Each structure stands twice: as C-alpha cells, then as structure tokens.
Amino acid sequence: MRVALLSDVHGNEVALSAVVADLPDVDRVVCAGDVVGYNPWPAACVATVRDRGIPTVVGNHDRAVARDTGFRFNDMAAAGVDYARAELDDEQIAWLDDLPRDRTLADGRLHVVHDHPERQDHYTMPDEFDPSLLAAAGDPDVLVLGHTHVQHHETFADGVVVNPGSVGQPRDGDPRAAYAVVDLDDLSVTEHRVSYDIDAVADAVTDAGLPEKIGDRLSHGK
C-alpha cells in the first residue's frame, strides 16, 4: 500500500495544484495539517483537501483560524490567520474546527499528527527523530509529522518517522513544494520536490494585502 504524505499547505493553491498533478500512483493521500495560513487561497486549499477526501489532522494555524488558541504568532502568521478567517465560510471553518489532533490509519500501521505525539505545538526537528517518537504514538509502523516545514525521514528497527516537508512554504532551503510517499509493504520512503510559479504566488500575496515578506521568503525556501 502506497500513501502520499502532504503537510503544511498554508493556503498556497499554486503549490498544492503542482503537487496534486505530480503525485504518482498511490492508494491514498493523507495530510498532516495546516491547510490554511500565510498564503492567499485558504478556501481553495480547504476545498481541494475536502473534495479529494484526504484524511487530515489539525495544525496550529487551522486551530487558530477556527478558534482563538492563544498560540503566539509572528506578524506574517497572524496576518495569514486573520485573512483565512475572513475568507473561509462558516462550513469551512467548522471543518477546520472538527479536524482531529491525530489519526491512525491503515489498520493501525500509519499514525499522523501535526507536531509531536505527546507535545502539541512542539517543533519536532530532524535531530529529534528517534524510536521514542514511535512509542509515544502507540508503535505504528510509520509516524507522520509536519509543523517544521523541513523534509526528512529516518528508518529504525521499530518503524519510520517522516516529515514530508511543506507544500506551501518550505523552510529547508529548497523552495520547491515538498511531499513524500511511503510504501507500507516495505516501509520505504521517497521524498519529492515540485517546482511551481513562486512569482505568481508572491504577486498574489501583495494583491491580497498580506505582508510582502510572506511571498518574498518563498523563493528562498525559508
């Protein structure tokens, strides 16, 4: 069984469309949260994820748009939250509000959470990937994380920990949209990057009245 892993779309419809078009033949697609935030197409990205029936967990930006969480955002992130809250209709906001913190799929073999199995909002960086994360998630074969926007995976005797990277705002020095595919038969992971029209996104950020640095940072992958 092959599963495509998405995360941190962050309202970037151009990047999401490029990723969807690039997906290889897979049995299902899952998303590790933060469908909205930062970029100017939150409604379109929510619609794509919903229309495709992609199982999704809640990210910190998703939670902040749906309800006041007290999470401390910088100016760029706060502007994206406010913009998404204004752009989404009540049904879309309710969908975000109903997203679970985590999901266990594929007969318990795949566990998905946005940040950390036990520490909500913790940025689980690659140097923290170890078997204890699998144990904290209930010992799945594959643990999927997002939140850091850094694409990485590690394979251990007990299973695999993978962050597919960010579709809409990578922060690992590679500006291309990121996703991954895991094969549950042999527990192999392939990391993918997809080019998209970053200039068009930066122009749309400006046109939407969002902070220009949201668009500027996309070309640097940070």
Q: What's the confidence (pLDDT) of residue 12?
A: 98
The two three-digit tokens of residue 16, written as one number: 């999401």
Q: 2-100+164-220, what's its fold? A: Purple Acid Phosphatase; chain A, domain 2 (3.60.21)
Question: Domain-by-domain residue ranges, the chain?
Answer: 2-100+164-220
Confidence bin at 181 (pLDDT 50/70/90): very high
Beta-bridge partners for 190: 181
Amino acid 114 reads H
Check: CB of residue 171 under 8 Å from CB of residue 221. yes
Residue 76: pLDDT band with limits 50, 70, 90: confident
191: part of which helix (H) or strand (E)? strand 188-194
Widest Cα–Cα separation across the chain:
49
Give 167's DSSP letter.
S
At 70 the pLDDT is: 61
Q: Supply the pTM of this predicted model.
A: 0.95
Residues in the chain: 222
Instruction: Give CA–CA dist 110/184, Å, rounded.
Output: 8
Q: How far is CA 180 from CA 28, 66, 104, 139, in A?
A: 12, 27, 18, 21
Structure tokens given for 213: 């640095």
State the Cα–Cα distance between residues 33 and 19, nearest whole angstrom: 16
d(CA 95, CA 46): 9
pLDDT digits (tens, 9 = 90+) for 28-47: 999 999 999 999 999 999 99
What backbone phi and psi angles, to 5 degrees, belong to 51? -65, -30
Distance separating alpha carbons of residues 2 and 109, to the nearest angstrom: 12
